[in-house]
Amino acid sequence: MKYFEETYPNISQFIADHGELYLGNDIYNMSLVTLATEEAVIWQSSSLHPSIDQALDAAELVMKEWLASSRRKMMVVY
């Protein structure tokens, strides 16, 4: 797990604080990687990501932006 946390720190932070990571596709979901909270799917890979590695790399970039946006929303301005 240490390798995953070091390679994908933003995905790891998302999992720890906000939601879940699903790997692999099934009859209902053709994406290789899905990131979701209890309320919604935040991101799913597409056919543009033919491997799990490529999908995780894309998800890492998306989670970096998503986490930054979430932090800005939680900041209180006095």
Residue 73 has pLDDT above 60, yes or no: yes
pLDDT (tens digit per residue) in 4-62: 999 999 999 999 999 999 998 777 778 999 999 999 999 999 988 889 999 999 999 99
pLDDT (tens digit per residue) in 48-60: 888 999 999 999 9
**Strand bridging mode 20-23 / 41-44:** unpaired
Q: Is 28 helix (H, G, I), strand (E, B) or coil?
A: coil
What is the structure's pLDDT at 15?
97
The model's pTM: 0.85
Calculate the average pLDDT of the chain.
Answer: 89
- Could you tell me what percent of the chain has a pLDDT over 70? 90
Q: Please list the alpha-helical segments (H only) found in the chain.
A: 2-7, 9-17, 52-74
> 24-52 b/e with 16+ CB inside 10 Å = b?
eeeeeeebbbbbbeeeeebbbbeeebeee
